[in-house]
Structure 1
Amino acid sequence: MEDYITNEGSVCIFRTNKDAPNYRLIKIDLHNPSENNWETLIPEHPSDVLDWASAVDNDKLVIHYVRDVKVFREVKVKGFDASQYEAKQIFYNSKDGTKVPMFIVSKKGLEQDGSNPALIYGYGGFNINIQPSFSVTRLVFMQHFNGVVAIPNIRGGGEYGERWHNAGRLLNKQNVFDDFQAAAEYLIEEKYTRPSLITIQGGSNGGLLVAACINQRPDLYGAAIVQVGVLDMLRFQKFTIGHAWVSDYGSSDNKTQFEYLLRYSPLHNIQTPTSMLTADHDDRVVPLHSLKFIAALQHAARHTPQEHPLLARVDTKAGHGGGKPTAKIIDEHTDILCFMSQALGLEFIK
């Protein structure tokens, strides 16, 4: 895999993972592009991932690595006192023994007695890093519901370079679901929460993750929020840009990959109160994924003792998420918090 960075005439600079799972920067002359003529500008770091590079001011490169660092500046948010909360990174064992990192955020001094609601957010795909960031919605959940927020850095992402990515793609995709399920088990074992108080959330590829996990382990969760999820794994490549995801998922046109996809495709493995969020103008993950899935859920629930809501929320005049107006974001996150409160029986604490 190569990412173009910049060029001067026929000489181009690329970020590549060729023979470098943590990526390196190379220079290639397009008049003489054979690999033995490549020049390494920045070699692969033994532990840190070269996340991206950018050319600035004509003669400079900005290089971004994923690594542990110290805080050198803190942005103050009015009305928010960070000293009341704590964030920590732990490592837990997945099903196959792989150690997976996870960030856990909560109020300081929160009792680990199994009585706290938990929100677990995940993605796990396409070599994308999921890193901590400030969220008003999660802050409301922690402050007014005594909630615990957990973000596991599961395989399929880019947190540890191409090896971590490859361990969660194609015929290794089940590792992603196993990592996520093991995160919930860790929180339960450590008495942060209990299954009936756990909400899992993810969008796009993360929506696939959440939907697959509620099918495979419905006993682990009290509620699930699937946002613009990829849910029909046998036909996703036939709509808009779905064909571009074959590198991570595989394709049902391949017999071996078809059989693997069928085993976890959320639409084809319907078995937990669920809220589906999509948008009528989403041309990346088209709304049919969410609408077909919620219809199949409602059909399956006709003959089961389903007491909780199965909801589909469709944003009008909206897309995959980017550029959404602030008013729509507030409405959506209000609905999410209300759904969690109703599904888990939570009380708002002033």
Structure 2
Amino acid sequence: MQTRQLLPDELNWVKVSGVSWAGKGFYYSGYDAPKTGENSLAGKNEYHKVYYHQLGTAQTADKLVYEDKTKALGFRIAGVTDDERFLFLSLTDSKADGNKLLVRDLTDPKQANTWVTVQTSYEFDTSVVGNVGGELLVYTNDHAPNFKVVRIDPRHPQPASWKTVIPEAKEKLEGISQAAGSLLATYLHDASSLVKVYSEDGAYKYDVELPAIGTAAGFGGRRTDKDLYYAFTSFTYPTTIYKYDPATNQSTVFKAPTVDVKPAEYLTTQVFYASKDGTKIPMFITHKKGVKLTGKNPTYLYAYGGFNVSLTPGFSAARMLWLENGGVLAIPNLRGGGEYGEAWHKAGMTPNKQNVFDDFIAAAEYLKVLNYTDADHLAIAGGSNGGLLVGATMTQRPDLCKVAFPAVGVMDMLRYQKFTIGWNWAPEYGTSDDKAQFANLYQFSPLHTLKPGTAYPATLITTADHDDRVVPAHSFKFAAQLQADQAGNNPTLIRIDVNAGHGAGKSTKLQIDEWADIWSFAFYNMGVNLK
């Protein structure tokens, strides 16, 4: 960092990995190099391992820290506490939705090659926040669907010996960090952040005052620091870094972006609408103040609905073009996400996946009832699991919208588990290897529910040639079948980025080019002229 020169160290075949610094190197996870003839982009990833790399050495000299030769499918990810006393491992299983947790005291010679199992079940999500002396602070939904924080002595790791530090609350505890001698707990209240400060023994201090309704994240720092930092963002509030002093409960702007956006010129409201089964679903709606609601406003409906992911308010410079041209942005928090804890997640996974599509369809219909838009001026969008959402919605309700944007979507639900890390999604979706799950998947698999001679929306499918998470074959097959089955004049196009992957790390130029194509496609097919 002092010289800002790139080090010669280079690591290959690192995937589903963090970087946990310790001593003169770091822990990371990866796979063996593909064997001759194996497809490195589409082949199934098996036998995840944890290594320690010392800076200045070759990867071939890296120390193997953990492997399980009896378990081909699952992730193994290492972490280290801030004081480098404890090394911990998160282990997942392809048939479950949580993780086991192992820990080793690096200061105890007796534990040099011994792991203590802190969480024995794959059923729950369990992770280490930090430590206070010889005890671990652990974040878990073990018998607490909205999560809690407990203190665990690795010498007595049995759940009966766990001490509750922050109990489960009505709101979901979305995240927890240990910094500056405090615990900072980020809760979700109707999909927006609410941050509370506690002492390390769990005594409540106060709430952090945030600039507006939105998303706060980070709160990073060392336990011994006096200050820490967090980021705040919302739909029309560019991501801003704040410096926070827990002693005074004061936040000051540390770094604000130079983006010419005036939040006061926009309006964001949150509504709650009824889905098909009557469940109330929250949705954020944003547009420029003064926009007249004609029932024909161009509207971009974006969602995800899966994997316990919470879709909270966030700024996107690309979306500002849409809003500047009189567009409406609508983001519903569908079941399958994590906005209301594990019960909300389970209501949209495996046999309940149809709830997610019903929630999305109901959001579109509600926008029409509120006179925001109509079918000719509505675009639906989503990426990855959200690409599946768009694909399933447009095949079930081709009359719902004018434009569809399924991005890097899981379109073949009968074979997804056969490629790269697709096996990891089995707890969320189920697999075609099971007879009952096959029947459920077949009912909504976008590739298999297209019907010849149907007038589908104008569709721009996006993928990338090096996507090794959701392999591009999903999009290729869906595009080909949709082109064959499409009736009417609505176009079906596929856009393939070259030398790009699932989306993360995409260059600014590639992002600009992609968004230019997306908005051009939307405005053109809706018959809307740019200002």
Distance between the aligned counterparts of 1:27 and 1:78, measured in 2?
A: 43
Q: Secondary structure at the match of 1:292?
A: helix
Give the RMSD, CA atoms, in angstroms: 1.8
Deviations 1:173-218 (A, max 9, x none): 1110000000000001111000111000100010000110000111
Q: Please report how far the alpha carbon of residue 81 of structure 1 lies from its aligned counterpart in structure 2 after TM superposition.
A: 2.3
Give the conservation status (yes or no) of the 8 Å contact 1:121–1:200. yes
Q: Please report how far the alpha carbon of residue 78 of structure 1 lies from its aligned counterpart in structure 2 after TM superposition.
A: 3.9
Runs of at least 5 residues in structure 2 that lack an aligned partner in the other structure? 1-123, 195-208, 213-236, 241-255, 452-456
Mapped pair 1:312 → 2:451: no
Give the conservation status (yes or no) of the 8 Å contact 1:2–1:14. no
The residue number in structure 1 matching 2:174 is 51
Q: Please report how far the alpha carbon of residue 336 of structure 1 lies from its aligned counterpart in structure 2 after TM superposition.
A: 0.4
Distance between the aligned counterparts of 1:116 and 1:222, measured in 2?
A: 12
Match of 2:324 among 143, 150, 156: 143
- Which amino acid counterpart does residue 177 of structure 2 have in structure 1? S
**Alignment TM-score, normalising by the size of structure 2:** 0.62
Distance between the aligned counterparts of 2:505 and 2:182, measured in 1?
A: 30
Paired residue total: 343
Identity %: 47
Deviations 1:114-166 (A, max 9, x none): 1211000000011111011112222111212x111100011010111111111
Mapped pair 1:32 → 2:156: yes
**Alignment TM-score, normalising by the size of structure 1:** 0.93
Q: Please report how far the alpha carbon of residue 7 of structure 1 lies from its aligned counterpart in structure 2 after TM superposition.
A: 5.3
The residue number in structure 2 matching 1:180 is 360
Mapped pair 1:287 → 2:472: yes
Mapped pair 1:72 → 2:257: no
The residue number in structure 2 matching 1:253 is 433
- Which amino acid counterpart does residue 148 of structure 2 have in structure 1? R
Give the conservation status (yes or no) of the 8 Å contact 1:5–1:55. no
The residue number in structure 1 matching 2:389 is 209
Give the conservation status (yes or no) of the 8 Å contact 2:129–2:139. no
Give the conservation status (yes or no) of the 8 Å contact 1:157–1:168. yes
The residue number in structure 2 matching 1:300 is 485
The residue number in structure 2 matching 1:126 is 307
Match of 2:373 among 187, 193, 201: 193
Deviations 1:316-345 (A, max 9, x none): 111111111111110110010011122212
Distance between the aligned counterparts of 2:419 and 2:134, measured in 1?
A: 37
Distance between the aligned counterparts of 2:498 and 2:174, measured in 1?
A: 35
Q: Per residue, is there more helix in 1 or in 2? A: 1
From the superposition, tell whether residues 40 and 115 of structure 1 become closer, same or farther in structure 2 (CA, over 3 Å): same
Runs of at least 5 residues in structure 1 that lack an aligned partner in the other structure? none
Q: Please report how far the alpha carbon of residue 27 of structure 1 lies from its aligned counterpart in structure 2 after TM superposition.
A: 2.6
The residue number in structure 2 matching 1:273 is 458
Q: Secondary structure at the match of 2:399?
A: helix
Match of 1:234 among 414, 438, 441: 414
Q: Secondary structure at the match of 1:218?
A: coil
Distance between the aligned counterparts of 1:71 and 1:109, measured in 2?
A: 26
Mapped pair 1:90 → 2:278: no
From the superposition, tell whether residues 23 and 313 of structure 1 become closer, same or farther in structure 2 (CA, over 3 Å): same
Point out the more displaced range, 81-90 or 276-285: 81-90
